[in-house]
Each structure stands twice: as structure tokens, then as C-alpha cells.
Amino acid sequence: MNANETALVTPHWVQQQLHANRGDLVVLDASIGAQRSLDTGIPGAKRFDIDGEFSCANVELPHTMISADQFQSLVRMLGVNARSMVVVYDAAGIYSSARAWWMFRAMGHSSVAVLDGGLPGWIAADFPVAPMTSTAIRIGDFVARPDVSAFVDQSQVLSLLADPGISVLDARSLDRFEGNAPEPRAGLRSGHMPGSQSLPLSDLVVNSHMLPPRELAVVIQDRLGEAGSIVASCGSGVTACVIALAAHLSGVADITVYDGSWSEWGLHEGPPIAGSSTA
């Protein structure tokens, strides 16, 4: 496998690694929302709680990246070592698992992959499930080496929107992007960042699986155009990471995620917006 291919693994590959009792493999369930309450998953999996401890509690915005020290401490408790191969999945297929994948990469750990198909794909392959835990028997020795370029803030995005070498891509639905559908979070305007482009999650993930590589590359290149870099956004910084995963799989090297995403930009005191609603 090349570096890009290892970012996405199949249920059969994971099952083979578990069957071989691969000692450096750590499997994490990064489900959010209602699926966060599931108490069973891939055997040996531990919960990577993006709705909880893996989001910063000191800010009002949801799903904000935690500090390097916090991340290091928490993933050590999950048994992650510096040499661990981490596989993340979620119960929706490919949704919040990409956020966990990007968080690990943001902390300098490149040996991390998303399970294509997630838990639905695992179950469809007729592989077993088992109770999950939140801690490991042995504490890991993971060391966080943060990459400051992995995330950008609102002020940076404001300047990047005017850069022709950068494509700002939004993973929300087209109706939300165009301002024709209300935001699910109260208190937010409808519309999009001026100069950004729509790239809905549904254009990248079909039946819980990422598009085949060639189709994925076509979609990414269509949005990228002459630009060489991507800034990914969404509602709260979760599905933006699916865009980051798709771009990575397509060979794009310069990728960053707007952590605040529309939860920050769409606030009534936020920057200018485009779309049918400018209230």
C-alpha cells in the first residue's frame, strides 16, 4: 500500500490484523450523536468520544480541537503507542471517523486509517461485534507532535478565501450551502462563505463507503480547479474531515480544516455570508 491507500482500510483487512493478533493495532469507535450510545462494536475497540472529552469544553463552539497535552493524555489512556497503527470507524459508515483520523494526523501521527464502510460495513461482512470499553489495560506511550497547519481559524479563512490558489470547500448539504434550508443549530444564519464551493458529504460517500479512487479524484479535481490547496469546512468541523480524507486519498498534499466551520462563521455577529439568507 502507498501512503494514501493506507488512510482507508477494509473490514477484511482489519479482521485479518485482529485474527493475526497484531499487537500494535488499536481500533477506535468515533461515533457521535445518537450512535455514540452504542455499547458494542468491533472486538477490542475503545470509544473515541468526539462529543465528549475529545472536544474542547472551554469554548462554546462544538467539536473544537483539544490541546496537544489533552490529546496525548487521552489517547494514552486508550492504549495508543507511538508505534501504534490506529484504525478509526463510526456507526454511520464514514462520517465522524474522518474527524478522529484528522485529529491524529494533526497531532503528528500518520499511522492512522479510516475503516471504509464503518460499523455497517463490518457487520455486512458478517464479522462479530463485542462490548466496548473506554480505557486500555496498558497505558500507551503516544507522544503528540502538533502540526499547526492542520487547522485554521476564522481570521485565516477570511484571508484565504481571496487566494486563487486555495479552494474552500463546504461539506454541508447543497440546500444549507445555498441558504435554502435552515441550520440544525439554533442561532445561525443560512448561506455560505463568499467564494467557497459546495462539496456535500453525499458526493464523497455512497452507501457508507468512499467513492472508488478514480471517481473520488474526479470530484476533488473538479472543485480544486487550478488551485493547489484545500480548506475544508462543514457545520462543526466533523464532516469537513471527510473532505480532508477524500483530498488526501486523491493525492492533494496541502489540506487544512476550518475548525470553527459554520458553527462559528454563521453566528449573527460573524463575517459576511452569501446565499438566499443574509439576516
Taking only the tens place, the pLDDT of each residue in 227-266 is: 999 999 999 999 999 999 999 999 999 999 999 999 999 9
Average pLDDT rounded to a whole number, residues 214-224: 97
Our separate counts of H helices and E strands in the chain read 9, 14
Q: Which pLDDT value is given to residue 21?
A: 87
Q: Which pLDDT value is given to residue 2?
A: 37
Q: Which pLDDT value is given to residue 278?
A: 47
Torsion of CA 98, 104, 107, 109, to 10 degrees: -130
Amino acid identity, residue 25?
Answer: L
Residue-wise pLDDT for 131-175, tens only, equals: 987 777 789 999 999 999 999 999 999 999 999 999 999 999 999
Q: Domains in the chain, ordered, with CATH?
A: 5-131 (3.40.250.10), 151-265 (3.40.250.10)
Alpha carbon distance 240, 63 (integer Å)? 12
Residue-wise pLDDT for 51-88, tens only, equals: 999 999 888 899 999 999 999 999 999 999 999 999 99
pLDDT of 126 higher than 90: yes
User: pLDDT averaged over the chain?
Assistant: 94
Contact residues for 83 (Cβ-Cβ < 8 A; gap 6+): 24, 111
Q: Which helix (H) or strand (E) holds 131?
A: strand 130-131
Q: Which pLDDT value is given to residue 38?
A: 85
Model pTM score: 0.95
Active-site annotation, residues: 234
